[in-house]
Amino acid sequence: MKTILLVPTEIGVGLTSACLGLIYALECQGVKAGFLKPFSQELQPEADRTTALYRHLFKHETVEPITYAALTERLKNDENDELLEDAVRLHREISKHHDIIIVEGVLPNGRDPFATELNANLAKALDAKVIIVSNADINNPVKTASKVDNQLRFFGGASGERTAGVLFMRTKGLPEDSAQIPVTLDPSLRLISDTNQFVSKIQTTHPMIGKDCMPVIGLVPFSNTLSVPRMSDLAAHISAEWINQGEAAQRRVLHSSLIASNIEHEMHKFVAGELIISGSDRVDVLLASSLASSNGIPLAGLVLTEQKAPSAQALEFCQAAIKNGLPILHTKLSTFETAQQLLNLSNEIPVDDTERAEQVTRFVASHINQEWLSHLISDSYKPRLSPSAFRHELVQKSIAAKKRIVLPEGDEPRTVQAAAICQSRGIAHCVLLAKPEAVVDVAKARGIELPHDLEIIDPDLVRENYVEKMVEMRKGKLTEDQAREQLQDTVVLGTMMLALDQVDGLVSGAVHTTANTVRPAFQLIKTAPEYSLVSSIFFMLLPDEVYVYGDCAINPDPDAEQLAEIAIQSADSAKAFGIDPRIAMISYSTGTSGAGADVEKVAKATEIAKQRRPDLLIDGPLQYDAASVESVGRSKAPNSQVAGRANVFIFPDLNTGNTTYKAVQRSANVVSVGPMLQGLNKPVNDLSRGALVDDIVFTIALTAIQAEQQAAQ
């Protein structure tokens, strides 16, 4: 077991972000890292912030820290040894379940002068290696190094046996474009050249920093985007009341503007992510904000100051904006006081801001030296396919595939943003089917930067090219006029592009139904020669590993032959995504414990699948607990190679599959990726209409990998 203690040089270095980022980087390597915060410095005896974020992000349990009241009481009574014994006890609890433990040290703030000495004693008590976490300024290497050196003295210096390295956070002076936020860990973002140059400057005064004994394990840029609060974080800070809460929990304050002069001269300030601050008597500002929101510009929100809140009559003119989710606050503070208060808003990630926490972990992890990480874990863990590792591998494989994916819902805002991300990260070459001016308008309104090589095709300019070919493919089933009419649907148009090998895959469903996405594929793409049906799987991202569920979306009641085929399709899909399949054919009976037609169907399907694919580990019928829980599997099916360790679950019918996937997803708060269609000649995948931008990105990545897999067959 290895323990890594992260020690800050001062307050505000991003210690929580550093801890979570390091844990995420380990997760992407298949390492289940534990987390311990031994001592809380929060005055309120509520759940610790970092601990709560760890639980949410990684779905692992940990212990609550010793409260600040108990900490200070022990120190006051000179019970230092007893305090450290308590910390060791907490550490031992975590070590029962983890090979590597990341420990968050104590902040040396003005209130707690004991912090530095306590961190030094904690390192000894836990036998921990120490990473110094510090802010950095590229233009002031001496000051940066001095802060690190001051801390190192308490741990035996740069060459001391406890030192593991230094992590520079919130680094100023780096190029603005260096602060890109990845969709998963992205080692290509690591600033190798900038790091080497910075280390060279540091070594002119502090020669040991950056050597093998004290490596710089990361240079993390400062990011304005990751430092921004949500509108919901502002209300209490400025003593405000909600006029309309709307999308306050989702909208972020990228910039803020005071509106004091004639509105005509302030119109340029009404842009995506802008917080508009103005006196409550400025009805013109209220109406301008409402108009901007109604025109599709997602302002962060509106804060009205002083005097009384706007009248009901004025608000009546803003109903369209209110329905669009525009957050509106009123505070009795003056406009100037409001602006001053907002400047003092903490950069700490609130416990409930999980979106920001997830972005920060990916961002920090991407800047950690992968060689250093590999050395850390070289002999201390058993790799597993964690959810983070799965998503990381997903993106890396799609980048390597270099496939062209068409997106028929080309002017849908989430789709536009996902396409921009995929294009800029190299996840896929995206083709948007939409009017170019409509895409530009969406991007402008939402502050999306469109990559220069993002392909946008106007359906009206190419539709006629596919009429004759579609008539030919449907073999007399429709006329030219009927084909022309069907091609008005961009999903049909995109499917034709795929059928003619002009693209490698299709992703739709953000606004279309599953039927609208899948039907053209059945008609034009059809099933692969080796299969008789199309089925679906979901990747269920459980805390410790990834499961495959099939079929949960397509086939209502497959017979034994079809069920066997679904099992084989699902096993091959699992392999394509790095999962070594152990397939459980699910039933209400394990072996011969139950009887009935449904059990017999599963038993027959199992035998057919084994005969067709003797290379696969398949067993059934198995009850879900016998398939998934080791102790139950040993009891109910002691001779099975699958029972208790299954990772591919094949359900007997759609009712069972769909119900189970949704029950697990919602009850256990499990992220699911899919449905991914399998069995088609070419990859077509459906989205949920509630899909988030990241969901679309990962579905595009899935589709690209499917295309690569099919091309290799």
Residue-level pLDDT at 236: 83
pLDDT digits (tens, 9 = 90+) for 515-553: 888 889 988 988 888 888 889 999 998 877 889 998 988
3-state secondary structure at position 673: strand
Average pLDDT over residues 255-261: 84
Written as six digits, the tokens of 330 are 């009123």
Cα 448 to Cα 553: distance, rounded to the nearest angstrom? 33
Q: Are strands 671-678 and 255-258 parallel, antiparallel or unpaired?
A: unpaired
pLDDT at 190 over 70: yes
pLDDT at 4 over 90: yes
| Burial class for 177, CB neighbours closer than 10 Å (0-12, 13-18, 19+) | exposed
Residue-level pLDDT at 530: 84
pLDDT digits (tens, 9 = 90+) for 553-587: 888 999 999 999 999 999 999 988 888 899 999 99
Cα 699 to Cα 692: distance, rounded to the nearest angstrom? 11
Contact 458, 439 (CB under 8 A): no
CA end-to-end span of the chain, whole Å? Answer: 43
Residue-level pLDDT at 675: 84
> How many other β-carbons are positioned within 10 Å of the β-carbon of residue 268?
8
Burial 360-392 (b: 16+ CB within 10 A, else e): bbbbbbbbbbbeebeebbeeebeeebbbbbbbb
Cα 552 to Cα 142: distance, rounded to the nearest angstrom? 59
Q: Of 160-174, 385-399, 596-610, which range is least confident?
A: 385-399
Question: Residue 174 gets which letter from DSSP?
Answer: S
Residue-level pLDDT at 156: 82
Mean pLDDT of the chain: 89
CA neighbor of 684 nearest in space, from 657, 706, 709: 706
pLDDT at 482 over 80: yes
pLDDT band at 202 (very low <50, low <70, confident <90, very high): very high
**Strand spans (E) along 159-300:** 163-172, 216-221, 240-244, 255-258, 274-279
Give the residues across from 407 on adjacent strands: 432
Q: What percent of the chain has pLDDT over 90?
A: 43
pLDDT at 279 over 90: no
Ordered alpha helix ranges (H), 402-522: 413-425, 436-446, 459-462, 467-473, 480-486, 490-499, 514-520
pLDDT band at 593 (very low <50, low <70, confident <90, very high): low
pLDDT digits (tens, 9 = 90+) for 25-41: 998 888 888 999 999 88
> How many other β-carbons are positioned within 10 Å of the β-carbon of residue 193?
8
